[in-house]
Structure 1
Amino acid sequence: MISSSYFINVVRFTLLVLVQVLVFNRLNFFGFINPMVYILFLYWYPIKENRAVFIGLSFLLGFFIDFFSDTMAIHAASTVTIAYLRPAIMRFVFGVNYEFQSFRLGNATKAQQITFLALLIIVHHMVFFALEIFSLANILLILKKVLAIGLSTLVLCLLFSSLFSVRKE
Protein backbone atom coordinates (compact mmCIF):
# COMPACT_ATOMS: atom_id res chain seq x y z
CA MET A 1 0.00 0.00 0.00
CA ILE A 2 1.08 3.54 -0.66
CA SER A 3 1.04 5.62 2.49
CA SER A 4 -1.08 8.75 2.61
CA SER A 5 1.98 10.89 3.35
CA TYR A 6 3.62 9.69 0.13
CA PHE A 7 0.46 10.47 -1.85
CA ILE A 8 0.13 13.93 -0.27
CA ASN A 9 3.75 14.76 -1.10
CA VAL A 10 3.31 13.67 -4.73
CA VAL A 11 0.18 15.81 -5.05
CA ARG A 12 1.88 18.81 -3.43
CA PHE A 13 4.93 18.42 -5.68
CA THR A 14 2.82 18.20 -8.83
CA LEU A 15 0.44 21.03 -7.94
CA LEU A 16 3.19 23.40 -6.84
CA VAL A 17 5.16 22.82 -10.04
CA LEU A 18 2.02 23.40 -12.14
CA VAL A 19 0.96 26.51 -10.21
CA GLN A 20 4.48 27.96 -10.39
CA VAL A 21 4.92 27.26 -14.10
CA LEU A 22 1.43 28.07 -15.33
CA VAL A 23 0.54 31.00 -13.06
CA PHE A 24 3.38 32.61 -11.14
CA ASN A 25 6.06 32.48 -13.84
CA ARG A 26 3.75 34.53 -16.02
CA LEU A 27 3.13 37.23 -13.39
CA ASN A 28 5.38 40.26 -13.15
CA PHE A 29 4.29 42.73 -10.49
CA PHE A 30 5.96 46.11 -11.03
CA GLY A 31 7.89 44.62 -13.93
CA PHE A 32 10.20 42.35 -11.92
CA ILE A 33 8.41 40.75 -8.96
CA ASN A 34 7.79 37.10 -9.77
CA PRO A 35 6.80 35.08 -6.62
CA MET A 36 8.26 31.59 -6.18
CA VAL A 37 5.64 29.64 -4.25
CA TYR A 38 7.09 26.20 -5.04
CA ILE A 39 9.31 26.69 -1.98
CA LEU A 40 6.29 25.57 0.04
CA PHE A 41 7.10 21.96 -0.89
CA LEU A 42 10.39 22.26 0.98
CA TYR A 43 8.60 23.90 3.90
CA TRP A 44 5.85 21.26 4.10
CA TYR A 45 8.01 18.18 3.54
CA PRO A 46 8.01 15.88 6.62
CA ILE A 47 10.85 16.59 9.01
CA LYS A 48 11.96 13.09 9.96
CA GLU A 49 12.02 11.60 6.45
CA ASN A 50 15.14 10.33 4.68
CA ARG A 51 17.41 13.33 3.99
CA ALA A 52 18.91 11.93 0.77
CA VAL A 53 15.43 11.43 -0.70
CA PHE A 54 14.51 14.97 0.35
CA ILE A 55 17.56 16.45 -1.36
CA GLY A 56 16.83 14.36 -4.46
CA LEU A 57 13.21 15.54 -4.54
CA SER A 58 14.42 19.11 -4.07
CA PHE A 59 16.67 18.72 -7.09
CA LEU A 60 13.77 17.31 -9.13
CA LEU A 61 11.54 20.17 -8.04
CA GLY A 62 14.12 22.73 -9.12
CA PHE A 63 14.85 20.78 -12.30
CA PHE A 64 11.19 20.78 -13.37
CA ILE A 65 10.85 24.50 -12.64
CA ASP A 66 14.07 25.12 -14.60
CA PHE A 67 12.90 22.95 -17.48
CA PHE A 68 9.65 24.86 -17.89
CA SER A 69 11.17 28.27 -17.12
CA ASP A 70 14.32 27.86 -19.24
CA THR A 71 16.59 29.04 -16.41
CA MET A 72 19.51 26.58 -16.74
CA ALA A 73 19.63 24.91 -13.27
CA ILE A 74 19.39 28.04 -11.14
CA HIS A 75 16.21 26.82 -9.43
CA ALA A 76 17.74 23.37 -8.94
CA ALA A 77 20.84 24.82 -7.28
CA SER A 78 18.71 27.02 -5.02
CA THR A 79 16.34 24.25 -3.95
CA VAL A 80 19.17 21.81 -3.26
CA THR A 81 20.92 24.47 -1.17
CA ILE A 82 17.92 25.09 1.07
CA ALA A 83 17.20 21.35 1.28
CA TYR A 84 20.76 20.81 2.48
CA LEU A 85 20.61 23.73 4.94
CA ARG A 86 17.09 22.99 6.24
CA PRO A 87 18.21 21.04 9.35
CA ALA A 88 20.54 23.88 10.38
CA ILE A 89 17.81 26.45 9.80
CA MET A 90 15.37 24.34 11.82
CA ARG A 91 17.85 24.04 14.69
CA PHE A 92 18.30 27.82 14.61
CA VAL A 93 14.56 28.56 14.61
CA PHE A 94 13.15 25.77 16.77
CA GLY A 95 16.15 25.12 19.01
CA VAL A 96 16.20 21.95 21.08
CA ASN A 97 12.56 21.16 20.25
CA TYR A 98 13.58 20.16 16.73
CA GLU A 99 15.70 17.27 18.02
CA PHE A 100 12.77 15.42 19.60
CA GLN A 101 11.09 12.63 17.61
CA SER A 102 7.63 13.98 18.37
CA PHE A 103 8.31 17.44 16.89
CA ARG A 104 5.82 18.63 14.29
CA LEU A 105 5.85 21.90 12.41
CA GLY A 106 2.17 22.39 13.20
CA ASN A 107 2.92 22.34 16.94
CA ALA A 108 5.40 25.24 16.70
CA THR A 109 4.31 28.81 17.35
CA LYS A 110 3.15 30.91 14.41
CA ALA A 111 6.17 33.21 14.83
CA GLN A 112 8.53 30.23 14.57
CA GLN A 113 6.74 28.93 11.47
CA ILE A 114 6.91 32.34 9.77
CA THR A 115 10.58 32.75 10.72
CA PHE A 116 11.40 29.30 9.36
CA LEU A 117 9.61 30.00 6.07
CA ALA A 118 11.19 33.45 5.79
CA LEU A 119 14.70 32.04 6.29
CA LEU A 120 14.08 29.36 3.66
CA ILE A 121 12.93 32.04 1.24
CA ILE A 122 15.86 34.37 1.99
CA VAL A 123 18.47 31.64 1.51
CA HIS A 124 16.76 30.42 -1.66
CA HIS A 125 16.51 33.89 -3.14
CA MET A 126 20.08 34.85 -2.19
CA VAL A 127 21.43 31.78 -4.00
CA PHE A 128 19.03 32.19 -6.92
CA PHE A 129 19.70 35.86 -7.63
CA ALA A 130 23.43 35.59 -6.95
CA LEU A 131 23.57 32.89 -9.64
CA GLU A 132 21.22 34.73 -11.96
CA ILE A 133 23.03 38.07 -11.84
CA PHE A 134 26.47 36.56 -11.08
CA SER A 135 28.19 39.84 -10.31
CA LEU A 136 29.13 41.37 -6.98
CA ALA A 137 29.13 44.75 -8.71
CA ASN A 138 25.33 44.44 -8.72
CA ILE A 139 24.96 43.50 -5.04
CA LEU A 140 22.32 46.22 -4.54
CA LEU A 141 20.25 44.78 -7.37
CA ILE A 142 20.56 41.31 -5.82
CA LEU A 143 19.45 42.64 -2.41
CA LYS A 144 16.58 44.60 -4.00
CA LYS A 145 15.31 41.48 -5.76
CA VAL A 146 15.76 39.32 -2.65
CA LEU A 147 13.79 41.80 -0.56
CA ALA A 148 10.98 42.54 -3.03
CA ILE A 149 10.47 39.07 -4.45
CA GLY A 150 11.13 37.45 -1.07
CA LEU A 151 8.45 39.57 0.58
CA SER A 152 5.90 38.79 -2.12
CA THR A 153 6.81 35.08 -1.96
CA LEU A 154 6.45 35.09 1.83
CA VAL A 155 3.03 36.74 1.69
CA LEU A 156 1.74 34.32 -0.95
CA CYS A 157 3.23 31.29 0.82
CA LEU A 158 1.59 32.33 4.10
CA LEU A 159 -1.69 32.79 2.26
CA PHE A 160 -1.44 29.34 0.65
CA SER A 161 -0.32 27.81 3.91
CA SER A 162 -3.31 29.20 5.76
CA LEU A 163 -5.70 28.18 2.99
CA PHE A 164 -4.49 24.59 2.77
CA SER A 165 -3.66 23.83 6.38
CA VAL A 166 -5.74 21.57 8.57
CA ARG A 167 -7.63 23.56 11.16
CA LYS A 168 -7.30 22.53 14.81
CA GLU A 169 -10.41 22.93 16.92
Structure 2
Amino acid sequence: MYIALTIPLPFLAKFVSASIPPSFLWLGIVIGFVGLYGIMTERVIADEAKIEVTYTNWIRAFLRRDWSLYWSEITQLKSRTTGQGGIVYYFITSQGKAYLLPMRIAGFARLVNLVQAKTGIDTSNVYPLAQPWMYMILLGLTFVLLLVDAWTITNALTLSNGMQGF
Protein backbone atom coordinates (compact mmCIF):
# COMPACT_ATOMS: atom_id res chain seq x y z
CA MET A 1 0.00 0.00 0.00
CA TYR A 2 2.87 2.37 0.78
CA ILE A 3 4.26 1.92 -2.71
CA ALA A 4 0.82 2.41 -4.28
CA LEU A 5 0.33 5.64 -2.36
CA THR A 6 3.75 7.19 -2.96
CA ILE A 7 5.29 6.04 -6.25
CA PRO A 8 3.19 8.30 -8.52
CA LEU A 9 4.21 11.45 -6.63
CA PRO A 10 7.62 12.08 -8.28
CA PHE A 11 6.14 11.48 -11.74
CA LEU A 12 3.27 13.86 -11.07
CA ALA A 13 5.64 16.45 -9.57
CA LYS A 14 7.66 16.40 -12.77
CA PHE A 15 4.54 16.56 -14.94
CA VAL A 16 3.10 19.62 -13.16
CA SER A 17 6.51 21.23 -12.64
CA ALA A 18 6.04 21.28 -8.87
CA SER A 19 8.32 23.42 -6.72
CA ILE A 20 9.62 20.29 -4.99
CA PRO A 21 12.03 18.39 -7.25
CA PRO A 22 11.16 14.74 -7.94
CA SER A 23 14.57 13.72 -6.53
CA PHE A 24 13.51 15.02 -3.08
CA LEU A 25 10.30 13.02 -3.33
CA TRP A 26 12.26 9.89 -4.27
CA LEU A 27 14.53 10.46 -1.27
CA GLY A 28 11.51 10.91 1.01
CA ILE A 29 9.90 7.75 -0.35
CA VAL A 30 13.06 5.73 0.32
CA ILE A 31 13.46 7.13 3.85
CA GLY A 32 9.79 6.47 4.56
CA PHE A 33 10.06 2.91 3.25
CA VAL A 34 13.10 2.20 5.44
CA GLY A 35 11.27 3.59 8.49
CA LEU A 36 8.13 1.60 7.70
CA TYR A 37 10.18 -1.56 7.24
CA GLY A 38 11.90 -0.96 10.56
CA ILE A 39 8.65 -0.50 12.45
CA MET A 40 7.31 -3.67 10.85
CA THR A 41 10.22 -5.67 12.32
CA GLU A 42 8.44 -5.65 15.68
CA ARG A 43 8.56 -9.10 17.28
CA VAL A 44 6.25 -10.28 20.03
CA ILE A 45 7.63 -13.12 22.12
CA ALA A 46 5.34 -14.70 24.68
CA ASP A 47 6.52 -17.67 26.71
CA GLU A 48 5.81 -19.30 30.05
CA ALA A 49 7.49 -16.50 32.02
CA LYS A 50 6.83 -13.23 30.19
CA ILE A 51 5.73 -11.25 27.17
CA GLU A 52 8.32 -9.24 25.28
CA VAL A 53 8.20 -6.78 22.36
CA THR A 54 11.47 -6.25 20.48
CA TYR A 55 12.71 -4.42 17.40
CA THR A 56 15.86 -4.53 15.28
CA ASN A 57 18.86 -2.67 16.70
CA TRP A 58 18.64 0.40 14.47
CA ILE A 59 14.95 0.93 15.30
CA ARG A 60 15.73 0.67 19.01
CA ALA A 61 18.33 3.38 18.63
CA PHE A 62 16.07 5.87 16.84
CA LEU A 63 12.36 5.14 17.16
CA ARG A 64 11.13 2.51 19.59
CA ARG A 65 12.23 0.82 22.77
CA ASP A 66 11.86 -2.84 23.62
CA TRP A 67 9.84 -3.85 26.62
CA SER A 68 9.11 -7.01 28.54
CA LEU A 69 6.81 -7.90 31.38
CA TYR A 70 6.69 -10.95 33.57
CA TRP A 71 3.17 -12.29 33.75
CA SER A 72 3.20 -11.77 37.53
CA GLU A 73 3.72 -8.00 37.03
CA ILE A 74 0.47 -7.56 35.09
CA THR A 75 -2.46 -6.63 37.31
CA GLN A 76 -5.10 -5.69 34.75
CA LEU A 77 -5.94 -5.12 31.12
CA LYS A 78 -7.50 -1.70 30.42
CA SER A 79 -9.32 -0.77 27.25
CA ARG A 80 -9.08 2.62 25.56
CA THR A 81 -10.96 3.96 22.57
CA THR A 82 -8.84 5.13 19.64
CA GLY A 83 -9.46 8.31 17.68
CA GLN A 84 -10.94 6.20 14.89
CA GLY A 85 -13.41 4.47 17.21
CA GLY A 86 -11.52 1.20 17.70
CA ILE A 87 -10.51 -0.26 21.02
CA VAL A 88 -6.95 -0.98 22.13
CA TYR A 89 -5.84 -2.62 25.36
CA TYR A 90 -3.05 -1.81 27.77
CA PHE A 91 -1.35 -4.08 30.27
CA ILE A 92 -1.29 -2.28 33.62
CA THR A 93 1.52 -3.28 35.97
CA SER A 94 1.62 -3.27 39.74
CA GLN A 95 3.68 -0.04 39.46
CA GLY A 96 0.89 1.60 37.44
CA LYS A 97 2.78 1.60 34.12
CA ALA A 98 0.88 0.88 30.91
CA TYR A 99 2.12 -1.21 27.96
CA LEU A 100 0.16 -1.58 24.74
CA LEU A 101 -1.11 -5.10 24.05
CA PRO A 102 0.19 -5.98 20.57
CA MET A 103 -2.92 -6.39 18.44
CA ARG A 104 -1.74 -6.63 14.83
CA ILE A 105 -0.02 -9.98 15.08
CA ALA A 106 -0.55 -13.43 13.65
CA GLY A 107 -1.95 -15.70 16.33
CA PHE A 108 -3.70 -12.94 18.25
CA ALA A 109 -6.27 -15.37 19.69
CA ARG A 110 -3.47 -17.62 21.01
CA LEU A 111 -1.79 -14.59 22.62
CA VAL A 112 -5.02 -13.53 24.32
CA ASN A 113 -5.58 -17.08 25.61
CA LEU A 114 -2.03 -17.13 26.96
CA VAL A 115 -2.56 -13.76 28.68
CA GLN A 116 -5.68 -15.14 30.37
CA ALA A 117 -3.96 -18.37 31.39
CA LYS A 118 -0.88 -16.64 32.81
CA THR A 119 -2.49 -13.61 34.48
CA GLY A 120 -5.97 -14.81 35.36
CA ILE A 121 -7.44 -11.71 33.68
CA ASP A 122 -10.67 -12.32 31.76
CA THR A 123 -9.93 -11.74 28.08
CA SER A 124 -13.22 -13.01 26.65
CA ASN A 125 -14.12 -9.51 25.39
CA VAL A 126 -10.71 -8.75 23.84
CA TYR A 127 -10.81 -8.72 20.04
CA PRO A 128 -8.24 -7.72 17.42
CA LEU A 129 -8.29 -4.12 16.24
CA ALA A 130 -8.97 -5.22 12.65
CA GLN A 131 -10.42 -8.46 11.35
CA PRO A 132 -8.60 -10.47 8.64
CA TRP A 133 -11.34 -9.71 6.09
CA MET A 134 -10.56 -5.99 6.51
CA TYR A 135 -6.98 -6.61 5.43
CA MET A 136 -8.20 -8.58 2.42
CA ILE A 137 -10.37 -5.63 1.35
CA LEU A 138 -7.36 -3.31 1.74
CA LEU A 139 -5.24 -5.70 -0.34
CA GLY A 140 -7.85 -5.72 -3.11
CA LEU A 141 -8.13 -1.94 -3.08
CA THR A 142 -4.34 -1.66 -3.13
CA PHE A 143 -4.23 -3.71 -6.35
CA VAL A 144 -6.85 -1.40 -7.88
CA LEU A 145 -4.79 1.60 -6.79
CA LEU A 146 -1.66 0.08 -8.36
CA LEU A 147 -3.54 -0.22 -11.67
CA VAL A 148 -4.57 3.44 -11.43
CA ASP A 149 -0.95 4.31 -10.57
CA ALA A 150 0.32 2.50 -13.67
CA TRP A 151 -2.18 4.42 -15.81
CA THR A 152 -1.26 7.73 -14.13
CA ILE A 153 2.50 7.22 -14.48
CA THR A 154 2.15 6.11 -18.10
CA ASN A 155 0.09 9.19 -18.94
CA ALA A 156 2.41 11.54 -17.03
CA LEU A 157 5.45 10.16 -18.86
CA THR A 158 3.74 10.16 -22.25
CA LEU A 159 2.41 13.70 -21.88
CA SER A 160 5.72 14.98 -20.47
CA ASN A 161 7.63 13.54 -23.42
CA GLY A 162 5.08 14.95 -25.87
CA MET A 163 5.36 18.44 -24.34
CA GLN A 164 9.15 18.55 -24.67
CA GLY A 165 8.85 19.50 -28.32
CA PHE A 166 7.00 22.75 -27.49
Give the TM-score normalised by the residue count of structure 2.
Answer: 0.28
Higher share of residues assigned helix: 1
Max Rg structure: 2
Higher RCO, 1 or 2 (CA under 8 Å, sep at least 6)? 1
Higher share of residues assigned strand: 2
